[in-house]
């Protein structure tokens, strides 16, 4: 029972360094957040020791009295957080992550080689929505199912529902997936339902990114129109890393979905649930059920909109010119800068961002944009005035990147590192790095 610092100082040291990185830097990755201390305590608890294959009341192992109570509590809070009537909706809280939740949902809804359509990855969709390239089917969702991506309009950058309807007429999907990893606007779930109904297809919303905002009622409600809703628990929802699958129980089409989803999670795709994680999810969901949650979610969106406005005021281009949710997609191509260059530079000055494809990128390997999200900064209680400062930091980072690009040409990355580590004190770049660091 010796503490970690004594048992394994090497791992403790790595945790300490990462703790410092998270708290000293600015976290702008749209898929990340900072969990509460309570959620981390639950997630790091003794519940990790227990096996509990099966569902509450029907386990393959003994000793699950308290685990059953926990899982039922987590299910209850999940339905409550999304304002769902338990006679109409059910939930499985066991998925280990968003990807496994999605694969289990596909396993529940489809037969092998059935047809699905999801938003294309270059247009903001997720790998698990059927992604493949001309060279390779590299995700289970395209290996085991036939998939066809739909896309965004090349001028508005909004989902092109008309074109999607026309594609669906030819492809005749059994499943339409909506939801995205990099789409700054809300979804028209009614339009998707209408298209799906023309082909007798299911509609599944993957609300991994926006679930915290949907729970707060700040975005359109997918539960009104979808058969299945999946989500991760660690993005805007502020929980530990895991997934949830919600399934409808009240329509003819959905009549056996409860069994199909539960069987797909276990035994089809997973083994024993991670009970420590389920405890962390339950605690996070309790927080999402509080009246304060709405204020948090509202502020996440206001902060993202403020960040967007500030970047536009600095003369930068955003995909769709702004946002309805927690993220903005920043198109760097007019500056002649790639997303990976700005990401690397920001890493050196304690700002964590990620490169992202923007519509019309010539190559998926060299994304021309950056995705920025405000969930984590809002969890640190940052308001509009703070976000304006962050936008200014980003502006200065771009200026620095442009100076270095001009100086360094193809050796750009090497030069970033050299100036940021003060090896070359004489350069303009080094001065700017010092300024940014302070």
| C-alpha–C-alpha distance, residues 184 and 205, integer Å | 16
Q: Which of 99, 107, 236, 379 binds ligand PLP (CB under 6 A)?
A: 99
Question: Which tokens in the block code for residue 414?
Answer: 């090497």
Smaller CB separation from ligand PLP, 309 or 326: 326
Q: Which stretch binds ligand PLP (CB under 6 A): 4-12, 19-27, 156-164, 177-185?
A: 177-185
Q: By C-beta, is 237 or 349 nearer to ligand PLP?
A: 237
Note whether 355 binds ligand PLP by CB under 6 A.
no
180/345 with CB nearer ligand PLP: 180
Q: Which residue has the tokens 């009537």?
A: 85
The catalytic site residues sit at 51, 53, 206, 232, 235, 241
Stretch that binds ligand PLP, among 4-12, 63-71, 151-159, 173-181 (CB under 6 A): 173-181
Using CB under 6 A, which residues numbered 31 to 70 contact ligand PLP?
31
For the chain, what percentages of helix, strand and coil (3-state, to nearest 5) are there? Answer: 50, 15, 35
Binding ligand PLP (rule: CB under 6 A), the pick from 120, 130, 149, 179 is 179
Question: Is the preceding omega at residue 267 within 30 degrees of 0, hence cis?
Answer: yes
Q: How far is the CB of 236 from ligand PLP (least distance, A)?
A: 11
Does residue 246 contact residue 78 with C-beta atoms inside 8 Å?
yes
> Which listed residue (141, 211, 232, 283) binds ligand PLP by CB under 6 A?
232
What phi, psi does 27 have (nearest 5°)? -95, 110
Binding mask 108-127 for ligand PLP (x = CB under 6 A): ------------------x-
Q: Which residues are CB-contacts of 400 (< 8 A; sequence separation ≥ 6)?
A: 345, 429, 432, 433, 436
Which residues, 292 to 321, sit near ligand PLP by CB under 6 A? none
> Three-state secondary structure along 152-215?
ECCCCCCECHHHHHHHHHHHCCCEEEECCCCCCCCCCHHHHHHHHHHCCCEEEEECCCCHHHHH
CB 222 within 8 A of CB 214: yes
Please give the distance of CA 179 from its chain centroid, rounded to a whole number: 10
Q: How many residues bind ligand PLP (CB under 6 A)?
A: 15
x/- string (CB under 6 A) for ligand PLP, residues 79-98? Answer: ------------------xx
Nearest residue to the partner ligand PLP, using Cβ: 98
CB of 191 to ligand PLP, least distance (A): 19
Neighbours of 189 (CB within 10 A): 18
Cα 304 from Cα 327, distance rounded (Å): 6
- Which residues inside 265-284 make contact with ligand PLP, applying CB under 6 A? none
Q: How far apart are CA 302 and CA 383, in angstroms?
A: 8
Cβ at position 437, least distance to ligand PLP in Å: 30
**Chosen residue from 128, 147, 354, 356 binding ligand PLP by CB under 6 A:** 128
**Looking at beta carbons only, is 31 or 306 nearer to ligand PLP?**
31
Closest distance between ligand PLP and the C-beta of residue 42, in Å? 18
Contact 389, 397 (CB under 8 A): no
Cβ closer to ligand PLP: 97 or 107? 97
Q: Which is nearer to ligand PLP, 180 or 318 (by Cβ)?
A: 180
Task: Please tell me the total number of residues recorded for the chain in this structure.
Answer: 438
Q: What tokens were used for 419?
A: 């100036």
Binder of ligand PLP out of 209, 238, 260, 326 (CB under 6 A): 209
Q: How many CB atoms lie within 10 A of CB 197?
A: 12
Q: Is 247 exposed, middle or buried (0-12, 13-18, 19+ CB in 10 A)?
A: buried
Specify the residue, 353 or 419, whose C-beta has the smaller distance to ligand PLP.
353
Which region, judged by CB under 6 A, interacts with ligand PLP, from 14-22, 153-161, 205-213, 260-268? 205-213
Contact residues for ligand PLP (CB under 6 A)? 31, 97-99, 102, 126, 128, 179-181, 206, 208-209, 232, 241
């Amino acid at each position: 029972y010796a503490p970690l610092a004594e048992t394994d100082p090497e791992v403790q040291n790595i945790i300490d360094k990462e703790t410092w990185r998270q708290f000293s830097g600015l976290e702008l990755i749209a898929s990340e957040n900072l969990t509460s201390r309570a959620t981390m305590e639950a997630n790091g608890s003794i519940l990790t020791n227990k096996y509990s294959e099966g569902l509450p009341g029907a386990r393959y192992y003994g000793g699950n009295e308290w685990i059953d109570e926990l899982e039922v509590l987590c299910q209850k809070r999940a339905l409550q957080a999304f304002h769902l009537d338990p006679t109409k909706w059910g939930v499985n809280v066991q998925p280990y992550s968003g990807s496994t939740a999605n694969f289990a949902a596909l396993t529940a809804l489809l037969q092998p080689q059935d047809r699905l359509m999801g938003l294309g990855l270059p247009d903001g969709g997720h790998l698990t929505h059927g992604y493949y390239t001309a060279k390779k089917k590299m995700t289970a969702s395209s290996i085991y199912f036939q998939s066809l991506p739909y896309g965004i309009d090349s001028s508005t950058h909004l989902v092109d529902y008309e074109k999607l309807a026309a594609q669906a007429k030819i492809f005749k999907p059994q499943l339409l997936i909506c939801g995205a990893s990099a789409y700054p606007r809300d979804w028209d779930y009614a339009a998707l339902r209408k298209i799906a109904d023309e082909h007798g297809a299911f509609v599944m919303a993957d609300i991994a990114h926006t679930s915290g905002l949907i729970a707060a009622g700040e975005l359109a409600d997918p539960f009104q129109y979808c058969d299945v809703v999946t989500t991760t628990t660690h993005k805007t929802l502020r929980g530990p890393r895991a997934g949830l699958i919600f399934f409808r129980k009240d329509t003819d089409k959905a009549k056996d979905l409860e069994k199909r989803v539960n069987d797909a999670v276990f035994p089809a795709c997973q083994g024993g649930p991670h009970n420590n994680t389920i405890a962390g999810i339950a605690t996070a969901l309790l927080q999402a059920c509080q009246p304060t949650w709405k204020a948090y979610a509202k502020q996440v969106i206001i902060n993202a909109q403020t960040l967007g406005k500030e970047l536009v005021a600095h003369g930068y281009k955003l995909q769709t010119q702004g946002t309805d949710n927690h993220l903005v997609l920043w198109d760097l191509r007019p500056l002649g800068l790639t997303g990976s260059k700005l990401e690397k530079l920001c890493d050196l000055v304690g700002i964590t961002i990620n490169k992202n494809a923007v519509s019309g990128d010539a190559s998926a390997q060299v994304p021309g944009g950056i995705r920025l999200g405000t969930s984590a900064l809002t969890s640190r209680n940052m308001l509009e005035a703070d976000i304006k400062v962050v936008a200014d930091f980003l502006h200065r980072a771009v200026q620095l990147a442009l100076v270095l690009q001009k100086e360094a040409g193809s050796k750009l990355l090497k030069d970033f590192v050299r100036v940021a580590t003060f090896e070359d004190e004489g350069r303009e770049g080094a001065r700017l790095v010092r300024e940014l660091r302070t």
